Amino acid sequence: DTAVSQTPKYLVTQMGNDKSIKCEQNLGHDTMYWYKQDSKKFLKIMFSYNNKELIINETVPNRFSPKSPDKAHLNLHINSLELGDSAVYFCASSPQWISYEQYFGPGTRLTVT
Amino acid sequence: AQKITQTQPGMFVQEKEAVTLDCTYDTSDQSYGLFWYKQPSSGEMIFLIYQGSYDEQNATEGRYSLNFQKARKSANLVISASQLGDSAMYFCAMREEGGGGSNYKLTFGKGTLLTVNP
């Protein structure tokens, strides 16, 4: 049973397209996150939701729009994809927003051509 | 200014030996947490260990221990009895806990690639 799952695992698309990455956690956690890891392995938080409410919104282009239909899901939609969006995107969850442990998904490798 | 600094881009260690991965941090918060994560070549991020700024004892988890020196603002990871499976990228991270939920975010260092030689 996968605790935090992401689909798809790989995504190759052309510039200008719109794409979504889905994340689901079956741990009953309240808080979910999106991180971006660039080609140099630098990992940076993008968004965090707690009980479906946005609590962290880093300086991210508004082409990126997270959506949390329920506590168990946090999807990431990206409009008008650019070459610089190529990265690995990680979803994570934690029991509560103050909890220190975060459980990461396997990552989605996005390649924009 | 960088909040988390990992000065060792790469480290090598012989199997069964201990290795220390360096991490220094910068914060003006009194309350914060320090974390280490492991990322094997398969790509997943694995939580290893946590140290709270008010914890007086160094955190330990199995073969992992965090050498916390508050005055020096360092939080080095010590891996004892290295194994081949320890070869991975290791990230130090910090969470400043002085405010509300919007501050509870992990800031990562650039990572150290550890290679364990047989």
* Contact assignment for B89 to A41 by CB distance below 8 Å: yes
Q: Which of A31, A35, A43 to mutate to test the interface with B (most CBs of B within 10 A)?
A: A43
Q: Where are the beta strands (DSSP E) in chain B?
A: 4-5, 10-14, 19-21, 24-25, 32-39, 46-52, 60-61, 64-69, 74-79, 88-96, 106-108, 112-117
pLDDT (tens digit per residue) in B53-66: 999 899 999 999 99
Closest CA to B59 of B81, B38, B39, B78: B78
- Provide mean pLDDT across the span A81-91: 97
Q: Give the minimum alpha-carbon distance from B110 to chain A in angstroms, rounded to a whole number.
A: 5
Share above pLDDT 90 across residues of chain A, in percent, rounded to a whole number: 82
Report whether pLDDT(B9) > 70. Answer: yes
What integer pLDDT is reported at residue B97 of this predicted model?
83
The phi and psi torsions of A66 (rounded to 5 degrees) equal: -85, 155
What integer pLDDT is reported at residue B102 of this predicted model?
63
pLDDT (tens digit per residue) in A49-68: 998 888 888 878 999 999 99
How many angstroms separate the CA atoms of A10 and B26, rounded? 35
What integer pLDDT is reported at residue B100 of this predicted model?
64
The residues pairing with B11 across neighbouring beta strands, listed in sequence order, are B114
Which chain B residues have any C-beta within 8 angstroms of a chain A C-beta?
33, 35, 39, 43-47, 50, 52, 89, 91, 95, 97, 101-102, 104-108, 110-111
Report whether pLDDT(A11) > 70. Answer: yes
- Provide mean pLDDT across the span A82-98: 94
What integer pLDDT is reported at residue A58 of this predicted model?
87
* Contact assignment for B50 to A101 by CB distance below 8 Å: yes
